[in-house]
Chains A and B, each alone.
Chain A
Amino acid sequence: MSTIAAEVNDHAHDDHGPAKGIKRWLFATNHKDIGTMYLIFSFAMFLVGGLMALVIRTELFQPGLQFVHPEFFNQMTTMHALIMVFGAVMPAFVGLANWMIPMMVGAPDMALPRMNNWSFWILPVAFGILISTLWMDGGAPASGWTMYPPLVLQTGDAFPFLIFSVHLMGISSIMGAINIIVTIMNMRAPSMSLLRMPIFVWTWLITAYLLIAVMPVLAGAVTMLLTDQFFGTSFFLAAGGGDPVMFQHIFWFFGHPEVYIMILPAFGVVSEIIPTFARKPLFGRDSMIYAASCIAFLSFIVWAHHMFTVGMPLSGQLFFMFATMLIAVPTGVKVFNWVATMWKGAMTFETPMLFALAFVFLFTIGGFSGLMLAITPADIQYHDSYFVVAHFHYVLVPGSVFAIMAGVYYWLPKWTGYMYNESLGKLHFWLSTIFVNLTFFPMHFLGLAGMPRRIPDYSTQFADFNMIASVGAFGFGLSQLILIYVLLTAKKGVPATDAVWDNPEGLEWTVPSPAPFHTFDTPPEVLPPLKQEQHA
């Protein structure tokens, strides 16, 4: 036994840097390398999903059918959503978590580095399979990302590929989430108490819990679709005693927590950035943590607000309406705290702060439209209209996506060791913000006027706003070329200091820029003081 030990131990603790060539990435166990892969993958999916959105907006530029077949249009809406949700937004946050959480809690790496690698490398397989369905008989799935039966059962050859790619995404997310929880709970520097953890770490802890709780439920739901299709079960078949509506219940039991999975880490990023550039401690730090926990809890008991029109007992409608509106309370706490953090702060407006600020304003608009949708009698009018599309794009694009971009600009100098091009960053911000509003704000009006979602053609009364939205979408898409340029030239700027910004809070700013391959070999014994403590 001791021989094995000696042999293995021999090269166990030499300071191994990255492996050479492709092996560094294929066999990676380093959280920074894996984080980088997550971020690059996510960005690639963001571009692919974005192109699909542009196909949609091209067709919708004018009334009538001009460019694509209606079937293909539906494939685009479905694939766009699946790719953006599971391929772009979620992996981007996991990438940020990989890079930042070990550094923020003073850990040498993620708790389970090999599993971390697997979580990532399942994703290209899942999306390779999903995207390949575009070339199959019957085309890609076209039932909407919600995969409602019986419609989804009409998918062609793509059907089993869709189901299994969703399974793979689930496996990847669950393993990633387990890793994050274990890292936070077990690898934290002993001197860092739970309440002292950075807010980004807190929000990710809660998010990871949500992921482990609901991704298996999605797996169950799509498994039932699979067996209904191929093995003759009757889960969603009324003749056999099942119910298609049951799918919607199971799906949204996953689906609503899922939308919070996409926004809680965004809250975390923004809560890191605003105090830095307001030069004030985060207002109501503890209440931020409690609010995020409340949101997570409530997110399990509101799912049927997606189903007000499908038929449900009145008591159910009332319950889900009130439960949904309750979420506005902790969400309001958060928005209030961000604003209070900035109150009388010595603010500067570097790119990360600009994105974070836009987040606060524009996410709140999405929150308000969500509240409108939560009102059952109103939702019966708004449901499946462009108003819903406006709502979720406000919370997801200037919400989640802006927070991701804010985070990337904020931490990029720590990753590369150089300042990015600030003027181009600002340009990227302003163009994105203008165009995102140009794209999605008119959709509120379209929805209220009655334009249904997921339809390739529309009545001429909707023409003007659609044209504006399409122009906005192309503008937004083109603006992202600036981001690509900024990222490609990220190492061309002036070298970054260790703190990068003006006295930011957190362990990650105490290590060199770029952060060394292995950050903390032993946990840091003294933590930098929180800003609250500095002021007290």
Chain B
Amino acid sequence: MGSHADDRYYVPHESHWPVVGSAGLLFMMVGVSIWLNGSDPGFWVMLAGVAIVIFMVTGWFRDVITESVGSMYNAQVDKSFRMGMLWFIFSEVMFFAAFFGALFYARNMAVPWLGGDSNNFFTNFVLWSGYESTWPTNGPGEVGGDFTVMGPMGLPLINTVILLTSSVTITIAHHALIAGKRGILSTFLAATFILGFIFIGLQAYEYVHAYNDLNLRLTTGIYGSTFFMLTGFHGLHVTLGAIILLVIWFRVLKGHFSKDKHFAFEAAAWYWHFVDVVWVGLYIFVYWL
């Protein structure tokens, strides 16, 4: 049985999951659009779509896991998965790059220009007379009203420590997996996603604080926009990453991974390092500088 898997590439049978996924996306996108256009039933259509997509993801992954556990994948398939995951992460990096780009552009170009920098004296004089460019800002129109900035100390610092620690714990778990130490593996893996969920909890708390006490909102000009979009998308990715780690943890408990076959574990770990790196960027450029 194993001999087959070694020399021939596994080409899967027809699968219904992709079209199920497409149907889910159809409901999701149409639903959310209708909802945004102001009619409430759209919300439920969207939820139906989300449910279908979740159904698809679990079903699809169940198939893949069954095939993997049934040793139908040879080293080449494993490598395909690895490369696929790395390129996927690269695409995610570029998605964040768009928002970081917006932050840098606004901060270093658009806002100074509104303040009359470079050859924009008249922009400032005629349109926004009296506006002096600063950062953070909610613009010459003071969109969203007075606000206080989220400083780098306190919660954000704690969150940084949490995420960096979780990067260490997942590495320990990885080494334990390779060394065959199951106990350490599951403990440190659990520690990792627990830290992840704590991070999300604190982030939620921070948001409430920002909205209620600082009047810092998504609608607070360009500062609020970049702040919440960057940290928000990051938070979504942490949530996803933590859920992935949780699933991997259950698989570890079921004894799914071996010393030299644990692509899913590594993929989750890579993803986790990726959200970690993004956070470091966020901490430096959004909170600190």
Choose from A13, A240, A313 the contact partner of B8 (Cβ within 8 Å).
A13
List residues 176-212 of chain B with CB under 8 A from any CB of chain A.
none
Known interface pairs A19-B14, A157-B37; A111-B80 also in contact (CB < 8 Å): yes
A-B interface contact total, Cβ < 8 Å = 253
**Residues A117 and B15 in contact, CB atoms below 8 Å apart:** yes
**Residues A24 and B143 in contact, CB atoms below 8 Å apart:** no
**Residues A4 and B84 in contact, CB atoms below 8 Å apart:** no
Verify if B106 is at the interface (C-beta below 8 Å from A): yes
**Residues A9 and B139 in contact, CB atoms below 8 Å apart:** no
- A111: chain B residues within 8 A (beta carbon): 80, 83-84
Choose from A4, A28, A213 the contact partner of B14 (Cβ within 8 Å).
A28
- B99: chain A residues within 8 A (beta carbon): 220, 224
**Residues A233 and B224 in contact, CB atoms below 8 Å apart:** yes
Choose from A128, A249, A522 the contact partner of B26 (Cβ within 8 Å).
A128
- A219: chain B residues within 8 A (beta carbon): 95, 98
- A177: chain B residues within 8 A (beta carbon): 87
With the chains together, A8 CA to B95 CA distance in Å?
38
**Residues B66 and A241 in contact, CB atoms below 8 Å apart:** no
List residues 78-136 of chain B with CB under 8 A from any CB of chain A.
79-81, 83-84, 87-88, 90-92, 94-99, 101-102, 105-106, 109-111, 113-114, 118-119, 127-128
**Residues A129 and B30 in contact, CB atoms below 8 Å apart:** yes
List residues 3-23 of chain A with CB under 8 A from any CB of chain B.
4-9, 11-13, 16, 19, 23
Verify if A526 is at the interface (C-beta below 8 Å from B): no
Verify if A513 is at the interface (C-beta below 8 Å from B): no
Distance (Å) between the CB of B112 and the closest chain A CB? Answer: 10
- B83: chain A residues within 8 A (beta carbon): 111, 181-182, 185-186
- A105-146 near B? 1/0 per residue, CB < 8 Å: 001110111110110011011001100000000000000000
**Residues B7 and A522 in contact, CB atoms below 8 Å apart:** yes
Verify if A227 is at the interface (C-beta below 8 Å from B): yes
**Residues A214 and B223 in contact, CB atoms below 8 Å apart:** no
With the chains together, A117 CA to B33 CA distance in Å?
25
Verify if B141 is at the interface (C-beta below 8 Å from A): yes
**Residues B94 and A216 in contact, CB atoms below 8 Å apart:** yes
With both beta carbons as reference points, the residue of chain B lying nearest to A9 in the complex is identified as B1
With the chains together, A139 CA to B143 CA distance in Å?
31
Verify if B58 is at the interface (C-beta below 8 Å from A): no
Distance (Å) between the CB of B151 and the closest chain A CB? Answer: 20
Distance (Å) between the CB of B114 and the closest chain A CB? Answer: 6
- B102: chain A residues within 8 A (beta carbon): 220, 224, 235, 246, 250
Q: Which of A90-98, A162-170, A192-200, A328-336 is the contact stretch? A: A162-170
Verify if A274 is at the interface (C-beta below 8 Å from B): no
Verify if B41 is at the interface (C-beta below 8 Å from A): no
Is the interface on chain B under 10, 10 to 19, 20 to 34, or 35 or more residues?
Answer: 35 or more
Q: Pick the most buried of A4, A27, A220: most chain B CB atoms within 10 A of its CB.
A: A220
List residues 195-246 of chain A with CB under 8 A from any CB of chain B.
212-217, 219-221, 223-224, 227, 230-235, 237-243, 245-246
With the chains together, A124 CA to B143 CA distance in Å?
40
Q: Which of B67-75, B162-170, B265-273, B274-282 is the contact stretch? A: B67-75
List residues 231-287 of chain A with CB under 8 A from any CB of chain B.
231-235, 237-243, 245-246, 249-250, 253
Verify if A518 is at the interface (C-beta below 8 Å from B): yes
**Residues B98 and A220 in contact, CB atoms below 8 Å apart:** yes
Choose from B21, B67, B222 the contact partner of A234 (Cβ within 8 Å).
B222
With the chains together, A259 CA to B224 CA distance in Å?
34
Choose from A212, A217, A230, A522 the contact partner of B98 (Cβ within 8 Å).
A217
Q: Pick the most buried of B1, B11, B109: most chain A CB atoms within 10 A of its CB.
A: B11
With the chains together, A204 CA to B15 CA distance in Å?
26
Distance (Å) between the CB of A21 and the closest chain B CB? Answer: 11
- B15: chain A residues within 8 A (beta carbon): 27, 29, 114, 117
**Residues A313 and B118 in contact, CB atoms below 8 Å apart:** yes
With both beta carbons as reference points, the residue of chain B lying nearest to A132 in the complex is identified as B30
With the chains together, A250 CA to B106 CA distance in Å?
12
Verify if A84 is at the interface (C-beta below 8 Å from B): no
With the chains together, A220 CA to B96 CA distance in Å?
8
- B66: chain A residues within 8 A (beta carbon): 4, 8
- B229: chain A residues within 8 A (beta carbon): 223-224, 227, 233
With the chains together, A117 CA to B9 CA distance in Å?
18
**Residues A241 and B139 in contact, CB atoms below 8 Å apart:** yes
**Residues B139 and A239 in contact, CB atoms below 8 Å apart:** yes
- B25: chain A residues within 8 A (beta carbon): 122, 125, 168, 171
With both beta carbons as reference points, the residue of chain B lying nearest to A312 in the complex is identified as B109
Is the interface on chain A under 10, 10 to 19, 20 to 34, or 35 or more residues?
Answer: 35 or more
With both beta carbons as reference points, the residue of chain A lying nearest to B92 in the complex is identified as A216
Verify if B152 is at the interface (C-beta below 8 Å from A): no
**Residues A242 and B106 in contact, CB atoms below 8 Å apart:** yes
**Residues A227 and B69 in contact, CB atoms below 8 Å apart:** no
- A223: chain B residues within 8 A (beta carbon): 229
- A8: chain B residues within 8 A (beta carbon): 66-67, 70, 72
- A217: chain B residues within 8 A (beta carbon): 94-95, 97-98, 101
Verify if A187 is at the interface (C-beta below 8 Å from B): yes
Known interface pairs A9-B4, A522-B8; A241-B114 also in contact (CB < 8 Å): yes
- B206-237 near A? 1/0 per residue, CB < 8 Å: 00000000000111011111101100000000
- A4: chain B residues within 8 A (beta carbon): 66, 69-70
**Residues B11 and A6 in contact, CB atoms below 8 Å apart:** no
Verify if A521 is at the interface (C-beta below 8 Å from B): yes
- B223: chain A residues within 8 A (beta carbon): 241
With the chains together, A6 CA to B1 CA distance in Å?
8
Choose from A29, A121, A214, A232 the contact partner of B218 (Cβ within 8 Å).
A232
Verify if A474 is at the interface (C-beta below 8 Å from B): no
Verify if A1 is at the interface (C-beta below 8 Å from B): yes
Verify if B159 is at the interface (C-beta below 8 Å from A): no
With the chains together, A6 CA to B67 CA distance in Å?
11
Known interface pairs A160-B36, A313-B118; A216-B14 also in contact (CB < 8 Å): no
**Residues A164 and B32 in contact, CB atoms below 8 Å apart:** yes
**Residues A114 and B60 in contact, CB atoms below 8 Å apart:** yes
Choose from A129, A167, A171, A235 the contact partner of B225 (Cβ within 8 Å).
A235
- A179: chain B residues within 8 A (beta carbon): 84
Known interface pairs A212-B91, A234-B222; A165-B18 also in contact (CB < 8 Å): no
Distance (Å) between the CB of B165 and the closest chain A CB? Answer: 29
Known interface pairs A9-B72, A164-B32, A212-B91; A241-B22 also in contact (CB < 8 Å): no
Distance (Å) between the CB of B38 and the closest chain A CB? Answer: 9
Verify if A494 is at the interface (C-beta below 8 Å from B): no
- A227: chain B residues within 8 A (beta carbon): 218, 225, 229
**Residues B91 and A174 in contact, CB atoms below 8 Å apart:** yes
With the chains together, A24 CA to B19 CA distance in Å?
12
- B8: chain A residues within 8 A (beta carbon): 13, 108, 521-522
With both beta carbons as reference points, the residue of chain A lying nearest to B5 in the complex is identified as A9
**Residues A214 and B14 in contact, CB atoms below 8 Å apart:** no
**Residues B139 and A237 in contact, CB atoms below 8 Å apart:** yes
**Residues B87 and A212 in contact, CB atoms below 8 Å apart:** yes
Verify if B29 is at the interface (C-beta below 8 Å from A): yes
- B28-66 near A? 1/0 per residue, CB < 8 Å: 011011001100000000000000000000001000001
Known interface pairs A111-B84, A213-B94; A27-B72 also in contact (CB < 8 Å): no
Q: Give 15 A-B contacts (CB < 8 Å), ordered by A residue.
A: A29-B14, A29-B15, A108-B9, A117-B19, A178-B87, A185-B83, A216-B92, A216-B97, A220-B95, A224-B229, A227-B225, A240-B225, A241-B137, A241-B138, A242-B221
Extra contacts, 12 of them, besides A121-B21, A220-B102 (Cβ < 8 A), are: A5-B1, A24-B14, A113-B11, A114-B15, A181-B87, A215-B91, A219-B98, A224-B99, A234-B143, A240-B222, A241-B143, A242-B225
